[in-house]
A and B are shown apart, each in its own frame.
Chain A
């Protein structure tokens, strides 16, 4: 399949909603028509051709793939909702992404080769989202007022994550190569969250079920967490196999040395596994 490339001409002084820029949708349009697409920008709209140089290459980006690809080159923090509702294809963002990258995506692959703003992978349902840099608050969480955060797919953040990582997350896998801010995995309903660095205050607050993998024990935990005992080797073997192809250090982790369970203030069937 072909690769469509949008190269930023000049960063605009206003925020732009990039949600219409999806690989499959753009692959079906002629290059000239793509330039005439209108993107929401605050209370106004802006044409793709005014922001980007549009080109198309029949050779797929990053090797042989049979799915449409879209490359946004030179993106900045002004580009919000990139990959929102992505359901197929590959979207590669070279540069920084704004807020809500991968919002409610259900499939495909979104790779951000830089930092991402807040709400990355928010209410994500499926697919894969990779952030090579840091991200803001509420990654894999829920939009304000919504009851459910991420409920499927895989989100990896090689850098640091902000506060409220995986808040209200229900299903899926979130891996953070660096530190996570306050309230990491707070109100977690289920799913798996891994943090290779340090976690901030109130880690796992209100966690109902799910698994939180930590390289370091939290500085403090609420008294509503208790020792989780042993005897989870078989489950760990299954989980470790699924992590084998993920980012380091999770791909190399051995059987955790400690297990804590909680938050007993709520359901209490969540678990914190501290890496061995």
Chain B
């Protein structure tokens, strides 16, 4: 991934330079699952387990993250819950990941139940197909499972009741999937590692306050930004040497200056292009509020020259209305 410059007018907010570049994102298939449990703690346990090892589609099959915690009044069964978002490159892979992850991480977790979290009537994202949820997991019931159609005012919904040792595992039959956007990103170039961490953590915290987005890497932050390809045959991705501070002066692609001591990246997947844009804007805002005084020197983004992904998030456009001292 490189930082292809496309916008020419320089932009600096609170001393932090915003590169005249854009993040390039791609179509993905996504769904939201609502996990409920007897307590909020058990719902979170299941959600953390389900979204584990889901940092990148390159090696994990999907990208996933916890979206937010849900009050009992906001869940189908009136219990505490957590909503999670899963993104994959195809409907087939998404369905596979849902089945595996719910089967191993939610079905197994005490007291949990799981429901589809996308309402087709209100979804801003274009609808895709319905992925199997309980329709696959029901076979764990070995013939004792029961299907139940219940209409809670939004049309009949089919649930499965699978006998398990703490009672019943209840799950919706299918989950609505949507055409989503994956791969929005921001790069924070800082004076040192502490400053890069502070900027990235502030940005992730701001993004997590927004709905419909997931930052799939650990803590929402990735330090091993990658580029496509490698000098080694068979490796599809390798380190993004353009932003590695130890390669300044070595890599001909380096985009760093001597004052940059560390770079961290945030990858953002969202249900719609607007959701990703809103999260990136919130991230830029949080980092520029810290500004150069806190060691946040530049904000950049990764792209492939704009030829691969149909979604381009131009940093200057995203930052156009942000507060702060400009130069």
Contacts and interface: CB of A to CB of B under 8 A. Distances in A.
A234 B77 contact: yes
Interface stretch (A5-13, A72-80, A129-137, A225-233): A225-233
Mostly, the A contact residues are mixed
A235 B159 contact: yes
Nearest to A271: B146
A233 B112 CA distance: 11
A230 B78 contact: no
A232 B167 CA distance: 6
Given A234-B77, A234-B113, A237-B79, A242 B151 contact: yes
A269 B170 CA distance: 16
A174 to B, nearest CB: 13
A238 B144 contact: no
Contact of A238 (B152, B156, B166, B167): B152
B112 to A, nearest CB: 9
Contacts of B159: 235, 238
Interface core residue of B76, B150, B159, B161 (most chain A CB under 10 Å): B150
A231 B166 contact: yes
Contacts of A191: 149
Nearest to B169: A234
Contacts of B156: 152, 171
B35 to A, nearest CB: 12
A65 B76 CA distance: 28
A17 B161 CA distance: 43
B45 interface: no
Nearest to A234: B170
B148 interface: yes
B153 interface: yes
B73 to A, nearest CB: 11
Contacts of B149: 171-172, 190-191
A232 B78 contact: no
Interface of A: 152, 154, 171-173, 190-192, 209, 211, 230-235, 237-239, 241-242, 245, 269
B147 interface: yes
A110 to B, nearest CB: 17
Contact of A209 (B79, B146, B153): B146
B192 interface: no
B255 interface: no
B307 to A, nearest CB: 48
A234 B113 CA distance: 8
A235 B152 contact: no
Interface in B143-195: 144, 146-153, 156, 159, 161, 166-168, 170
Contact of A269 (B146, B167, B168): B146
Given A152-B156, A234-B79, A237-B78, A242 B150 contact: yes
A211 B167 CA distance: 17
Greatest chain B CB density within 10 A among A171, A190, A235, A241 is at: A235
A152 B150 CA distance: 11
A245 B153 contact: yes
A59 to B, nearest CB: 27
A225 to B, nearest CB: 16
B77 A190 contact: no
A235 B147 CA distance: 11
A157 B311 CA distance: 56
Nearest to B75: A237
